[in-house]
Structure 1
Amino acid sequence: MTISERPYGSWPTPVTSELVTAAAVRLGEVHVDGADVVWAEGRPGEGGRTQLVRRSPDGTTTDLLPDGTNARTAVHEYGGAAWWVRDGVVWFTDWADQRLYRLAPGGAPQPITPEPASPRADRYADGDVAPDGATIVCVRERHTGSSATDVHNEVVRLAADHLSEPEVLVSGPDFVAAPRLSPDGGTLAWLQWDHPSMPWDDTLLVARDLASGEETVVAGGTGESVLEPRFEPDGSLLFLSDRTDWWNLYRWTPGSDIEPVVRLDSDLGVPAWVFGSARYAPLDDGRVVYARWSNGRDGLAVKETDGGLIDLDVPFSAIGAVRAAGPGAVVVVAGSPTAEPGVHRVDVATSAVETLRAPRDLGLDPAGISQPEHLTFDSVDGSGASRRAHAQFYPPASAEWTGPADERPPLLVQIHGGPTGAATPVLSTTVQYWTSRGFAVVDVDYGGSTGYGRAYRQELLGEWGVIDVADCLAAARHLAAQGRVDGERLCIRGGSAGGFTTLAALAREDTPFAAGADHFGVADLAALAADTHKFESRYLDRLVGPYPEARDVYEQRSPIHHVDRFTRPLIVLQGAEDEVVPPNQSEMIVDALRAKGTPVAYLLFDGEQHGFRRAENIRRALDAELSFYAQVLGFDLPAEEGIEPVVVDNL
């Protein structure tokens, strides 16, 4: 094939916004139900709803939920663990009313929780069915008013097969998660934490004898994050803890000391932004299969019964869930740098992979797929002291096009949300949308990111808006100094917490960025502290400082108070129903920049919450951002895509 020359950014590409959304799914949790495997699919083409799919041993797949039903919970706003399954029966929270439903084979969904006092006021998540199948324990989030202080999180118990009034088992803590019943049904374990902690800061793992009421604090407390409690058949309790800096695996047996199961300098856990993470799976023969994050890449390994730790030879670089699947096998949701996530069964003895739900066949030439390179580079902390930061770098890639010899590609500095998230080295059509056009992309794991241990995760405490910005600037300058990107065409983009970092990086007189894209980001930290949902309502106490005592710091770091420094063009994209970062955050910065005369574009998407789920909105957001860069950086859009230009005021 002939390689033709064309300016970077303007390359025609098969990775259009239509391809990004066409037949796209967001694979979520997976469960094994006897010989069947059930998984969740978020479908942009169906308005972003979550469908549940059952696969039988003969390979037949069946959509379980009727049209108009959406297995999605609003607990913590971010949701997760909205459904669970046993013996062919599925229980799920429906997005429309947030009630819990039971769906038996061949039947229709039947509500098993009462009508709430007001619409969507009672929300359910993270359930566990009792061993006898008669009851369920789960998290209930009850909204009794309009503010974060009117939200109450509890562990409740209810009948598994008919409508009943839930019984409150645990109340008092600000937050609860992961209620799990022992194999004999006699012990309840759960996680709890209080403001201002987040679940990756300080949590408690508590076990209660349901007959006597006696409680034991198993693990956790100040300086320890505990995740994913899971009972074993003998009644011992497995859990993840970062007590040694890394989220490793431990076992507690009543009456005995806690013993380490997997100890290594890698994170097995992930921050609990959503319920239902599953990063390890005990097998019937005593082995444990686990995912572990190390040096910017996920892997799968097994703890043998003799104590040995063996890495499995699987092609995955990002693993979303691990579930035991019969003797000697696990089912995983996993992807690689050249394949989107799929559902796969892995034979633990041989590492053989059977694909149960294949990722999309994108039809891309391998030469046109940009693969990530893990970078570690020099940066600084808030005092200017030297430290190291990390990123995933994607160079431009095309099977048909190359840039002029005397030109370097523009760079998109991409910032993940959280801010305790991580740059995930898995094939993303959104990243390839940019790299296949001639952009370079660097996905920054700034200080505060997950995957490098607790100490690195805590570098952001008190430093949000400082260290994250420093690391993004350092990544861009590092690549420019190496001659891998054009230092005059550095751009920055991010969503949620990444949107805040984008704005903070642009609100600098010495900003190296030529333009930025803010997806539902924070412009005013004080306004966010006063107007957000319960889960994050005290998050800034540790990232910035307690409010209003630290009012000066909030003002100093809020981009809205430094509009005079904004000179570079900005595009802002926002969901109209966002409860996490409300639209007023976007509108205040847009209005200020319009009044100042700084180039700015703004798109508000009806029907979207925190993150875009509808195919038409995902497409418009991508194409509008590309149109924005084309106007700002001065390159032509591929005419064959028919992209509608975005209006940039003051340009």
Structure 2
Amino acid sequence: MSTRKIAPYGDWESPISAESIVSKTRRLSAPRASPKSGRAFYAESRENGGTTIMEILKDGIKEVLPDEYSCKNGVYEYGGALYAILPDDRIIFSNKDSAVYILNPDSKEVTKLTGDSKLRYSNFEANLESPWVLANQEDHEIDTPEGIRNYIVAINIETAEVKRILDTADFYYEPSFNPDGTKLTWLEWNHPELPFDAARLYTASWHGDSISDVRLIAGKDREGVAEPRWGPDGSLFFGKEIGQYRRLFRLLPNGDEQREVKADGLDNAEFGGLRWFQGSHTYAPLSDQHLIACPVILGQTRVILIDLESGSWEDVGDSERLSEVMLDSVARLSDTSALIVGAGETTAKALYRINVEGSSKITQVRGSTNDVIPGKFCSKPILKSIRSKGEPERELYGFLWLPHNPNYQAPEGHLPPLIMTSHGGPTSYTGPGLEPRTQYFTSRGYAVLAFNYKGSCAHGRAYREALWGNWGLVDSDDAAEFAENLTATGQVRSGGVGITGVSAGGYNTLRSLTRHPETFAGGVCLSGVSDIKRLDDSTHKLESDYTDHLVLAPGVDKSEKDRICRERSPLFEAHKITAPLLLLHGVLDKITPLDQAQEMAAAIEKAGGEVELIIAQDEGHGFSQPKNVKLWLEEEEKWWRKTLL
């Protein structure tokens, strides 16, 4: 019989090391399968920061992209879908040099198709009956947010001809051909709209090198249209907001009637993803009878199989392995199987093959790490829902991981310190999937709360739109509401709450520390925003209208923007911060330049506060290189030991 050691929270020894978290980890995304041959591929990160293409074999996997190439693109700065499989199983992709190449996965021969340093390409979609491939093209001839132009183009893989077939809208997302190559679909919107509610879905007929019969399918009434996808039978599926939640709809081949894809009992689920990253794949029609989908309910994913005729559905995933599926993660493999990338409550992100015929079977194809966290050390997420005390009265959601280590327990009567994590976006969200960083801290005796403040997606339209005009107000108040609730209810220690975030989550961290200094004992901010106006002045085209929506409430004149931005910028309220603050920032950050952190640190020092700034010479927005991720984790732990214990 083992005896658990008694030690204070935060002092527990853990087998989960910083080295195990950052070494031999990989990002998995973009599963794809050829509808003709069935050959399947996916994208995987390399240790040098590049991205390769892997083929899925019957008995394993193999890399097919030579080392000198990296499958990546910078369309809309965040990039889009990485590659497409051609009818003959070759692969078209954009390389790190922005040129378009074709890869032969058998010989590993790579051939340049077209390239211009001022042009970027993403979201390739092949016509299965002709040599044409659709793509997003971004022209940086005039490299300013006002001067950049976006198009949908058709690329002829035999002649290398590139034809601009759509050029009148400011923004385009997700072009694709139907299975017989006679139609195409896409999303578009214009300034000053945002895609979250204003994207419009169109179809057109394809004539070999031109289009006709352009039709608006959905989006006329700001319906939150998202993720259009053709089914094997030629049906067009897409997400559309009905009331508060995005539902799936189906337009039958050669028909005009849009039918909702029924999923009885899932009325508060969100189907289909629409984010700043273009190319989300969170569902896949498998046949004319079945569709596999990953709806999200209050931030938690379910993997289900829907009978398209009856509206009945069944779970084909489980929360241990698949409770968080985001972005480009789902692909049809056959009429009865699919590929899914996701994380579970006790399992790190992995690529799975799911067979839905008979009793569902899930097989792991590739894990995101070689160092699996032992199950007995895993803290499981608890969905937290609280009612705010402040106005406006509101329901708030997040996931709480309590301290867990089978070898330790805290002295009787002690409560754990709490690390609150704020997601970026700010209109993103955090799910309950296993995150090694979280387990690093919970196994050492910290509680961790990932809170989805008002403005987070995956919680319904009203929840998301509550941030419009209120950025820096309601979201920072939500942070304080959660901290105060968990301390008042005796779940965590009063005076031992810290807050951290990256990018917009870093802004939330800084803003929470200025607005609620008495609530937080410490803060850690990576690549955070301290001056909203300067962020707005330097932002890229895709987000050039974002700040207006975030800070200007309906009816507020735009002439008030500069004043509001200054009022809500932590830089100008740095003197209010009383908690010690750790700032980390990359020299190469183009989203929030380094001087935002430098000036914030200088302002806190001038006011007599405690601050430390760590600068990474070779990082951009956020830290991604293993040595810098390790540095971030180790420095963060030191900071929490100093401020929370």
Q: Shorter-chain TM-score: which interval?
A: over 0.9
| Cα distance change on mapping 1:129 and 1:144 into 2, 3 Å | same
The residue aligned with 1:333 is 341
- State the secondary structure of the residue aligned to 1:527: helix
Match runs of 1:179-578 below 5 Å? 179-211=175-207, 213-253=212-252, 254-262=254-262, 264-315=267-318, 316-320=322-326, 321-349=329-357, 350-360=359-369, 362-379=371-388, 384-508=391-515, 510-545=517-552, 548-578=559-589
Following the alignment from structure 2 to structure 1, what is the Cα–Cα distance between the partners of residues 518 and 274? 31
Q: Which amino acid aligns with 1:167?
A: K
- The CA deviation at 1:394 is 0.4
1:626 lines up with 2:634 in the alignment: no
Q: Distance in 2 between matches of 1:50 and 1:547?
A: 42
**Given residue 225 of structure 1, which amino acid in structure 2 is its aligned partner?**
G
Give the whole-Å Cα distance in 2 for the aligned partners of 1:491 and 1:302. 41
Letter of the aligned partner of 1:410 in structure 2?
P
**Whole-Å separation in 2 of the counterparts to 1:35 and 1:516:** 49
CA deviations on 1:509-534 (whole Å, 9 max, x unpaired) are 65400111111111111111101111
Aligned-residue offset at 1:365: 3.6
**Distance (whole Å) between structure 1 residues aligned to residue 191 and residue 412 of structure 2:** 55
Q: Which moved more, 1:354-363 or 1:71-80?
A: 354-363
How far the C-alpha of 1:12 sits from its partner, in A, is 1.9
- Letter of the structure 1 residue corresponding to residue 362 of structure 2: V
Work out the CA distance in 2 between the residues paired with 1:558 and 1:137: 42
Q: Could you say which residue in structure 2 is the equivalent of 1:52?
A: 53
Selected match of 1:591 from 578, 584, 602:
602
Separation (CA, whole Å) in 2 of partners of 1:331 and 1:540: 37
Q: Distance in 1 between matches of 2:373 and 2:129?
A: 50
Alpha-carbon separation, structure 2, partners of 1:215 and 1:271: 23
Q: Which amino acid aligns with 1:147?
A: T
With over 3 angstroms needed to count, the CA separation of the structure-2 counterparts of 1:363 and 1:329, relative to structure 1, is closer
What's 1:644 paired with? Answer: none
Matches within 5 A, 1:45-124: 46-57=47-58, 59-86=59-86, 87-95=88-96, 97-104=97-104, 105-116=106-117, 121-124=118-121
Conserved? CA contact 2:495–2:644, under 8 Å: no
Write the distance in 2 (CA, Å) between the matches of 1:614 and 1:401. 32
Q: Deviations over 1:152-187 (max 9, x none)?
A: 11111112245x352111112121011111233232
In 2 relative to 1, CA 480–355 (structure 1 residues): closer, same or farther, beyond 3 Å? same
* Structure 2 Cα separation of the partners of residues 600 and 415 of structure 1: 20
1:126 corresponds to 2:123? yes
Paired with 1:296 and 1:114, the residues of 2 have a C-alpha distance of 40
Shift of residue 379, structure 1, vs aligned partner: 1.8
1:318 alignment partner AA: E
1:633 Cα deviation after fit: 3.6
With 234-243 and 523-532 compared, the bigger mean Cα shift is at 234-243
TM-score, scaled to structure 2: 0.93
SS in 2 for 1:463: coil
| CA RMSD of superposed structures (Å) | 1.9
2:93–2:124 CA contact under 8 A, matched in 1: no
Task: Provide the rounded CA distance (Å) in 1 between the counterparts of 2:50 and 2:14.
Answer: 29
| Counterparts of 1:199 and 1:26, CA distance in 2 | 26
Counterpart CA distance in 2 for 1:249 and 1:509 is 41
Tell me if the contact between 2:262 and 2:308 (Cα under 8 Å) persists in the aligned partners: no
Give the Å deviation of 1:56: 1.5
Q: Which runs of 4+ in 1 moved over 6 A?
A: none
Contact 1:520 1:610 in 2 (8 A): yes
Secondary structure of 1:549's match? Answer: helix
SS of alignment partner, residue 325 of structure 1: strand
Change (3 A) 1:596 1:161: farther
Equivalent residues in 2 for 1:605-644 (5 A)?
Answer: 605-633=616-644
Residues 77, 580 of structure 1: 8 Å contact kept: no
Which is further off, 507-516 or 555-564? 507-516
Partner of 1:11: 12
Which whole-Å CA distance do the structure 2 matches of 1:150 and 1:605 have between them? 31
Over residues 524-551 of structure 1, what are the superposed CA-to-partner deviations in whole Å (9 max), with x where a residue is unaligned?
1111110111111110111112755322
Question: Helix, strand or coil: the match of 2:478?
Answer: helix
Asked if structure 2 preserves the Cα contact closer than 8 Å seen for 1:529 and 1:547, the reply is no
What are the superposed Cα offsets for residues 220-279 of structure 1, whole Å, 9 maximum, x if unpaired?
Answer: 034221111122344331111113321211122445222111353200122322122111
Contact 1:122-1:140 within 8 A present in 2 as well:
yes
Whether 1:152 and 2:149 are equivalent positions in the alignment is yes
Range moving further from structure 2, 177-186 or 306-315: 306-315
Contact between 1:203 and 1:222, CA under 8 Å: does it hold in 2? no
* Counterpart Cα distance in 1 of 2:61 and 2:21: 24
Distance (Å, rounded) in 1 between the aligned partners of 2:161 and 2:602 = 48
Give the direction of change, closer, same or farther, for the CA distance of 1:395–1:430 in structure 2 (3 Å limit).
Answer: same
The answer to whether the 8 A contact 2:476-2:515 is kept is: no
C-alpha contact 1:252 1:259 (8 A) present in aligned 2? yes
Cα 1:91–1:511 shift into 2, 3 Å: farther
Shifted more, 424-433 versus 212-221: the winner is 212-221
CA offsets 1:586-622 (integer angstroms, 9 cap, x no match): 2221221222221111122233222222111110111
C-alpha distance in 1 between matches for 2:115 and 2:371:
45
> Equivalent of 1:139, from 132, 136, 139?
136
Distance 1:4 1:66, change over 3 A: same
Residue 39 in 1 paired to residue 42 in 2?
yes
* Secondary structure, counterpart of 2:302 in structure 1: strand
CA distance in 1, matches of 2:599, 2:262: 48
Alignment CA distance shift 1:221-1:9 (3 Å): farther
Q: Distance in 2 between matches of 1:233 and 1:67?
A: 34
Q: Which runs of 5+ in 1 are unaligned?
A: 635-651
The number of residues matched between the two structures is 623
SS at match of 1:247: strand
What is the CA distance between 1:444 and its match in structure 2?
A: 0.3
Cα-to-partner distance string for 1:537-594 (whole Å, 9 max, x where unaligned): 1101111127553222111111111122112111111122222222222222122122
Give % identity: 29
Q: Are the structure 2 counterparts of residues 617 and 129 from structure 1 closer, same or farther at C-alpha, using a change threshold of 3 Å?
A: same
Amino acid at match of 2:223: E
Taking structure 1 as reference, are residues 80 and 9 closer, same or farther at Cα in structure 2, changes over 3 Å only? farther
- The structure-2 alpha-carbon separation of the partners of 1:68 and 1:397, relative to structure 1 and needing over 3 Å to count, comes to farther
SS at match of 2:216: strand
For 1:103 and 1:281, how far apart are their aligned partners in 2? 25
Q: Which residue of 2 aligns with 1:641?
A: none
Which residue does 1:642 correspond to in 2?
Answer: none
Q: Is the 8 A contact 1:99 1:111 kept in 2?
A: yes
